[in-house]
Amino acid sequence: MSVNVVVTGMGTLSAAGNDSESLWRGVLSGQSFVRRVTCFDPAAFRSQVAGEIVGFDAEARLDRKLARRLDRYSGLAVVAAEDALRDAGIDAISDPEEFGVSIGSALGGALIAEQQHERYLASGISAVRPILAISVFAAAAACNVAQHCGLHGPALGNTNSCASGVTAIGEAYLLLRDGRARRMIAGGVEAPLAPLTFGAFDLLRAMSSKFNHEPQRASRPFDRQRDGFVMAEAAAVFVLEREDDAMRRGAHIYARIAGFGISNDAFHMSAPREDGSDSARSMRSALAEAGIGPAEVECVSAHGSGTPPGDTAERAALRLVFGERLAHVPVMATKGCHGHALGATGALEVAIALLAMERGRIVPSVNADQPEPEIATSTQPRPLRPATVLKNAAGFGGLNAALVLQRGR
């Protein structure tokens, strides 16, 4: 029996806003929320800008004891999960053994690891928080969400670099499709803004440094002046469930997850395969699983990292998928607004795509003033209510993932 998987709830936290409504207003505004780093002194680094979540206070959202037990990474995940459940209209978990979690993150608890290492160096092991060992591993977010929400189904925490969030949603989709779960909380979370972590990417010269004096211009997906990505933090998680269950309880359906594809370049640890062939393969795989061809895609939610090699390779991949039609397919590349939240970024862009499908607006690609040839980005909102969106994601290590989203009936 065919099982359709739908999205019925979402919870988001990002530089553009701390819920889905503020996120939507932010991305629709055409503004950038990238600023000079404030959570540490960035003066030593080439890149000095980031997309920080402003005003997040776990203690204001969660039980005080729980909030103090969680590091920022897991705190973001638990709050976003609560918001997603609330948005889905799920007040009580009636099927805990069939309700699972799948959360992706490139770096997991890197922030608390750095903070506690500083304490260790300054004052010895007695100064280190006892929660360190249970906070640093990437699956900690999934485990804390499962524990907090009382979910006993599958719990997955993948670390597929910047494709993690999309991969997590895809893995949840597969579990539901194959009858291994009935409902899933799925998405991506990242809290990477710590000096050593930030500096490690800065050493690779992967991050923007040209616009430190004008942070809002720094993140430039597919723009010819791009010079690197802008690191950010974010959380975006969703409630996925079987369509018949959602309809039976009268849930609001954002869209159907119709296909998932995944591949690996097997080429380089920090650079994509130039011809985009393996990225194209993951997108084609997602389309094939959805039972549609490229001609039926009405919009692309691109990865659009803003790195010179990344965007060039993605353009090549999209050209392989769409051919001459590429120049006419609307492309949303939103990192100019909220920055690049590594493993969370693809999930955040899924949220934006779902809102665009529901509200009939293609959001602008901030700072894409001189777009690459054939990439149909726009610096202004466009009226369109796409029935089918192809979401692409890519990450260090040559990891690729893609989803097909189809508007709910």
Active site residues: 162, 303, 340
Question: Which residues does 65 contact at the CB level (< 8 Å), separation at least 6?
Answer: none
For 232, the token pair is: 């950010």
Query: Following DSSP, what letter does each residue of 151-179 receive, concatenated?
Result: --S-EE----GGGHHHHHHHHHHHHHHTT
d(CA 356, CA 326): 20
d(CA 76, CA 341): 13
For 50, the token pair is: 């980031």
Phi/psi for 329 (5° steps) reads -95, 120
For 185, the token pair is: 């909380």
Question: Which residues does 87 contact at the CB level (< 8 Å), separation at least 6?
Answer: 8, 9, 10, 11, 20, 239
Question: Which residues does 66 contact at the CB level (< 8 Å), separation at least 6?
Answer: 78, 148
CB of 249 within 8 A of CB of 393? no
For 129, the token pair is: 């928080």
**What is the sign, positive or negative, of the torsion defined by CA atoms of 386, 226, 345, 355?**
negative
Phi/psi for 256 (5° steps) reads -105, 135
Residue 308: which H helix or E strand, with range? Answer: helix 308-322
Question: Which residues does 146 contact at the CB level (< 8 Å), separation at least 6?
Answer: 100, 101, 152, 155
